[in-house]
A and B are shown apart, each in its own frame.
Chain A
């Protein structure tokens, strides 16, 4: 299951930014995740935090809580509609 990996990755990112200063760590972690994570990964980890966020370190949890909701998660396994190539 990928979620375990996402938790691990978020903790790993947070553990680097913690060394750069406690006060900016959560914001930097959030920024990193926003810059590099595909929306479906962000949506999964945000949902995980809402469901309790088991396994997440405090800074990682704070960071994910500060992430904006993901608006454009690709629909998964939906049978409806013909996808267009532009959005």
Chain B
């Protein structure tokens, strides 16, 4: 079946949200008897029984509002005609949804709506985009007695200021679904109904244009609009979609489910899928709108070669490119040894693609020099949680947040980096749950509409481990330990050693306050709240892991959760918010040089022999090089060739000069990507990659949730990424034959106990699966460690604070930390090639007014940012979000290259770089540094593509 023969995925709108009540109520609707959970609305109960009650202001993403008066019903024994959306079911209730009286009332209501609408008849063919007329037809409206020329409500004209959607007040019926979506689903409160009666209109911000308001462009309002008043511009331009597939977003680790809605082979829009268990029908500006990069003019679609990196690229056939990769890698291995080449798997690609890259490195290259970008983000999570709990992953599903009573959010900024999770968190906080934010910067969640953190602990960058020990000190010394839990689930001797350690006076809040710069009383209060506030959940991000003590801090979090018994049930846990869409998957798939899929060390003979038997190759039992080690080895001369699938290490890895030196020292750098990224400036062979819309496979999100990625168009470059890996492997003498990615997953399941029950067929049936999925858990595992830890007894680990060697001093008195912004994604390769640049077209440097004044720096001016590693320039943003002494920037733009400044210090256990602490100095500047100018010129030259073959010579 061709792709376009699929139909549009229609989702049922039940009108009001699902009730979670356990008690069931039986009633009758139009003669049908049915049982539904107590608290269900009549509207929803009717829809579940297959009876659709007309509605305009109701949708199951939002709480009932009862304003449109279209969903009226009659109930035996009750007077009047109540709205079915706001009326809950009751035992024995007898409901009628279709009566002559109701029909008359609905027509009357509808007639009024239509008379205010900018149509001149009820003829739907004349007004194909007037969705309201569909509802008019559904209630049987045949005439409008008031005519079509009367006064209409206020209409200041179309607002098309947002790059992705437009607002046409003429089509608006002021049902407030958009306003409520912005409040209830997204939690931004950017919209309101302004004015009354005919004057009423939906207003963004303070009656501003959408783009000028605090709107975050998540699309919830567009999705909620029943009349097409708010609509995607692409639908206006191209027409309504004709078919769709369910797929998984390729941006962050939340892993939102989307319907890719298509017209022919063109994407019309991405609409969040309500049955997606990670996002529950919500989205952010990136996944919802920022997918246009797939067609960007800079996307490379043909393989290219060059002998030296200062030459222009030469387009070649796939055959020639693959042959060159194979001959170069074989030549290098012959000359420098088997260990002289390696590969980097992509956390942007699918599990199947990642698995094949590591398979090729281990089986075809014959070494274990494989790594992935998790090295630079959550490798400490793997080490820390595996050591303490026994599994290298988060403990909960995202639904768990709905049962959380108090959350510690540390080193994460979800409203920017994990926006859909942030919306779910905010919803729970508005219901009364408490929040403790530990972050050097005043992130939005510290105080945002209708959400205010109970405590914000603005620690100095680099002091995570100290503050965690101080929190533990309070819990232990004030008798707040859940002793029953600890005795049952954890090793008591290890706990005792740990308790004695944290109880020492040097770990007291009063002492730690001197290190962290947070008042002792605040530390004590936060600890008490976490330990006694009910279900306590920890959510953390790269602000925990990207430190020289990253792994230690992860274990510190695990200690806190165990000591308070906050593990092993819904509402609690230790939850890493993972960065890339498939960084969990890339780790699960054995992308690290020391372990196979499922986190099993390569030195284990039983595991290795299983792989050797299936792959028919002898495999190396020694760990290979990690990314920073590869770069070092390249400079030292023992590492000479690399295959990089979908990762831009030059921009994303620390100390750019060092990365550049490593890449420049190699004889063959193969980059497989959508664009000529920064790393490709040092490449000899470029293989064009495919987007997530062009391939089949799976991604695994931060919840360990395996979800299908479905192909909606043919790869514009000719191959899905896994096929390219197969071509290289075959050319090197080790063919890997698969007809479809599902066969790769079958191999993964065969070799990996935690994936034993996973297949594409099961994923189709269940929608998604959280590993472990095997005989013990045939439908997967939403919450881990329920009756005991995977490793047996939970392990308390002593977490001594050891200050980083990256210290501020007279030359570099400030501490620089880094993070993401909502509209851009990581190195920006994708988002910079969309209209998202409207919101964030360059990286800026946040600096406290006090520090700015001392240096004579004014808002918006160029400043030079210098560290021991290097210097760059960017524009200053003066703000009190950062404390005095702390500065902050994002790293989305290659013009800035924030990583020119970051250092080579790294986590003691995993070499995860210490991005989050760099001693720095800031001074006024006239513009880009010489290095920036030279690099721009180098990048420009490096990206030249010869127009003819002759020109290359």
Binding site for B on A (CB under 8 A): 1-2, 5, 9, 12-13, 15-16, 19-20, 32, 35-41, 72, 74-79, 81-87
B548 within 8 A of A: yes
Q: In the complex, what residues of A have CB within 8 A of residue B786's CB?
A: none
Q: Which of B338, B364, B629, B799 contacts A38 (CB 8 A)?
A: B629
Given contacts A83-B333, A85-B734, 4 further A-B contacts (CB under 8 A): A9-B908, A16-B552, A16-B800, A83-B334
- B797 CB-CB contact with A under 8 Å: yes
User: Which residues of chain A are within 8 angstroms of B335 by Cβ–Cβ distance?
Assistant: 77-79
When the two chains form their complex, are residues A38 and B635 in contact, meaning their CB atoms are under 8 A apart?
Answer: no
A87/B334 contact (C-beta < 8 A), A20-B797, A35-B594 known: no
**Which 4 pairs of residues, A with B, have the shortest CB-CB distance?**
A74-B339, A19-B800, A74-B337, A12-B908
- Chain B residues with CB under 8 Å of A86's CB are 366, 617-618
Task: Give B contacts to A, CB under 8 Å.
Answer: 330, 333-340, 363-369, 548, 552, 593-594, 601, 603, 617-618, 620, 622-626, 629, 632-633, 635-638, 732-734, 797-800, 802, 904, 908-911
In the assembled complex, the CB of A54 is this many whole angstroms from the nearest CB of chain B, namely 18
Residue of B nearest to A10 (CB): B908
Residue of A nearest to B330 (CB): A83
Residues in chain A near residue B369, CB distance under 8 A: 38
Query: Shortest distance in angstroms between A83's beta carbon and chain B's nearest beta carbon?
Result: 4
In the complex the two chains form, is B635's CB within 8 Å of A74's CB? no
Cβ of B635: which chain A residues have Cβ within 8 Å of it?
A: 2
Partner of A20, one of B622, B624, B625, B798: B798
Contact A38 B337 (CB under 8 A): no
Which residues of A are found within 8 Å of B629, using beta-carbon distances?
A: 38, 41
Interface pair B620/A87, CB less than 8 Å apart: yes
- The answer to whether A72 touches B365, judged by C-beta atoms less than 8 angstroms apart, is no
Question: A82 to B334, Cβ gap below 8 A?
Answer: yes
A83 cross-chain contacts in B, Cβ below 8 A: 330, 333-334, 337-338, 366
Q: How far is the CA of A13 from the CA of B383 in the complex (A)?
A: 13
A22 CB, min distance to chain B CBs, angstroms: 12
Expressed in whole angstroms, the minimum distance between the Cβ of A41 and any Cβ of chain B is 6
Name the A residues within 8 Å of B548 (CB-CB): 12
Contact B798 A19 (CB under 8 A): yes
**Residues of chain B contacted by A5 (CB below 8 angstroms):** 632, 904
Min CB gap A1→B, angstroms: 8
Instruction: Report yes or no: B601 in contact with A35, Cβ–Cβ below 8 A.
Output: yes
Find chain B residues with CB under 8 A from A39 CB: 339, 622-623
Q: How far is the CB of A73 from chain B (nearest CB, A)?
A: 8
In the assembled complex, 27 residue pairs joining A and B whose CB atoms fall closer than 8 Å, in A order, are: A2-B635, A2-B636, A13-B908, A16-B802, A19-B798, A19-B800, A35-B623, A36-B623, A38-B339, A38-B633, A39-B622, A41-B625, A74-B337, A74-B638, A76-B336, A76-B337, A76-B340, A78-B335, A82-B334, A83-B333, A83-B334, A84-B338, A85-B338, A85-B363, A85-B365, A85-B732, A87-B620
Task: List the B side residues contacting A19 at CB < 8 Å.
Answer: 798-800, 802
Inter-chain contact count A-B, CB under 8 Å?
Answer: 107
Give Cα distance in the complex from A77 to B633, angstroms.
12
Task: Give chain B residues whose Cβ lies under 8 Å from the Cβ of A20.
Answer: 797-798
Question: Given the complex, which residues of A lie within 8 Å of B333, measured CB to CB?
Answer: 83
Contact status A77-B637, CB under 8 Å = yes
A84 touching B366, Cβ below 8 Å: yes
Task: For the complex formed, measure the closest distance between the CB of A72 and the CB atoms of chain B, giving whole angstroms.
Answer: 6
Chain A residue with the shortest CB-CB distance to B368: A38
The A interface is mostly helix, strand or loop, or mixed, namely: loop
One of A2, A12, A32, A75 near B632 (C-beta < 8 A): A2
Report which of A1, A37, A41, A75 forms a contact with B337, defined as CB distance below 8 A.
A75
When distances are taken between beta carbons in the complex, the residues of chain A under 8 Å from B732 are: 85
CA distance A39 to B339 in the complex (A): 10
B696 to chain A, nearest CB (A): 29
How far is A62 from B844 in the complex, measured between Cα atoms in Å? 47
Please report the C-alpha to C-alpha distance between residue A18 and residue B552 in the assembled complex, in whole angstroms. 13
Task: State in angstroms the CA–CA spacing of A86 and B618 once bound together.
Answer: 6
- CB contact between B338 and one of A9, A16, A36, A87 (< 8 Å): that residue: A87
Q: Is the CB of B733 within 8 A of A85?
A: yes
Residues of A within 8 A of B368 (CB): 38
Please determine whether A85 and B337 come into contact, CB atoms closer than 8 angstroms: no
Residue from the list B603, B617, B734, B904 in contact with A35, Cβ < 8 A: B603
B792 to chain A, nearest CB (A): 18
In Å, the complex CA distance between A16 and B548 comes to 11
**Contact among B363, B617, B633 with A40 in the assembled complex (CB-CB below 8 Å):** B633
A38 with B622: CB separation less than 8 A: yes
- Interfacial chain A residues near B340, Cβ < 8 Å: 74, 76
Contact, CB under 8 Å: A15 / B908: yes
Contacts of A84 in B (CB 8 A): 338, 366
Q: Which residues of A contact B336 (CB under 8 A)?
A: 74-78
Taking the closest CB of chain B, its distance from the CB of A3, in whole angstroms, is 9
Contact A72 B622 (CB under 8 A): yes
A82 vs B617: C-alpha distance in the bound complex, in angstroms?
18
Alpha-carbon distance between A72 and B366 when the two chains are bound, in angstroms: 12
Q: Enumerate chain A residues within 8 angstroms of B910, measured Cβ to Cβ.
A: 36
Shortest Cβ distance from A18 into B: residue:
B800
- Would B800 and A85 count as touching, CB distance under 8 A? no
Question: Does A38 contact B624, Cβ atoms closer than 8 Å?
Answer: yes
A74 to chain B: closest residue by CB: B339
Of A32, A79, A82, which contacts B909 at CB under 8 A? Answer: A32
Alpha-carbon gap, A17 to B624, bound state (A): 23
Residue of B with least CB distance to A11:
B908
**B591 → chain A closest CB, angstroms:** 14
CB distance from A20 to the nearest CB of B (A): 6
A86–chain B nearest beta-carbon distance, Å: 5
Partner of B366, one of A15, A77, A85: A85
Question: Among the listed A9, A74, A78, A82, which residue makes an inter-chain contact with B911, where contact means beta carbons less than 8 Å apart?
Answer: A9
Q: Which of A2, A9, A72, A83 has the most CB of B within 10 A?
A: A83
Q: How far is the CA of A13 from the CA of B359 in the complex (A)?
A: 30
The interface residues of chain A lying within 8 Å CB-to-CB of B623 are 35-39
Question: What residues of B have a CB within 8 angstroms of the CB of A13 in the complex?
Answer: 908-909
Could you say which residues of chain B place their CB within 8 Å of the CB of A74? 336-340, 367, 638
* Complex Cα gap A82–B333 (Å): 8
Which residues of A lie under 8 Å from residue B734 when comparing CB positions? Answer: 85
- Distance of A35 Cα from B604 Cα, bound (Å): 11
| Separation of A37 and B625 alpha carbons in the complex (Å) | 7
Chain B residue contacts of A15, Cβ below 8 A: 802, 908
Q: Which residues of B have CB within 8 Å of A36?
A: 594, 623, 626, 909-910
- Closest CB in chain A relative to B358 CB, distance in Å: 15
In the complex, A13→B906 CA distance in Å? Answer: 11
> B638–A85 contact, CB under 8 A?
no
Q: What is the bound-complex CA distance between A29 and B883, given in angstroms? A: 37
Which chain A residues lie closer than 8 Å to B366 at the CB level? Answer: 83-87
Give the distance in Å from the alpha carbon of A75 to the alpha carbon of B638 in the complex: 8
With both beta carbons as reference points, the residue of chain A lying nearest to B339 in the complex is identified as A74
Residues of B within 8 A of A35 (CB): 594, 601, 603, 623
Q: How distant is the Cα of A20 from the Cα of B497 in the complex, in angstroms?
A: 9
Closest to B383 in A: A36
Shortest CB-to-CB span from B231 to chain A, Å, is 53
B637 touching A76, Cβ below 8 Å:
yes
From the candidates B593, B618, B624, B908, name the one contacting A16 in the complex (CB within 8 A): B908
A75 contact set on B, CB distance < 8 A? 336-337
Complex CA gap A40/B336 in Å reads 13
A15 to B465, CA, bound (A): 14
Given that A20-B798, A37-B623, A76-B337 are contacting pairs, would A85 and B364 also be in contact in the complex, using a CB cutoff of 8 Å?
yes
Chain B min CB distance to A30 (Å) = 14
A38 to B632, CA, bound (A): 12
Point out the residues of chain B lying under 8 angstroms from A76, CB to CB: 336-337, 340, 637-638
Q: How far is the CA of A13 from the CA of B618 in the complex (A)?
A: 31
What is the bound-complex CA distance between A82 and B910, given in angstroms?
34
Q: Tell me the bound Cα distance from A78 to B336 in angstroms.
A: 6
Looking across the interface, which residue of chain B has its beta carbon closest to that of A44? B636
> Closest CB-CB distance, B593 to chain A, in whole Å?
7
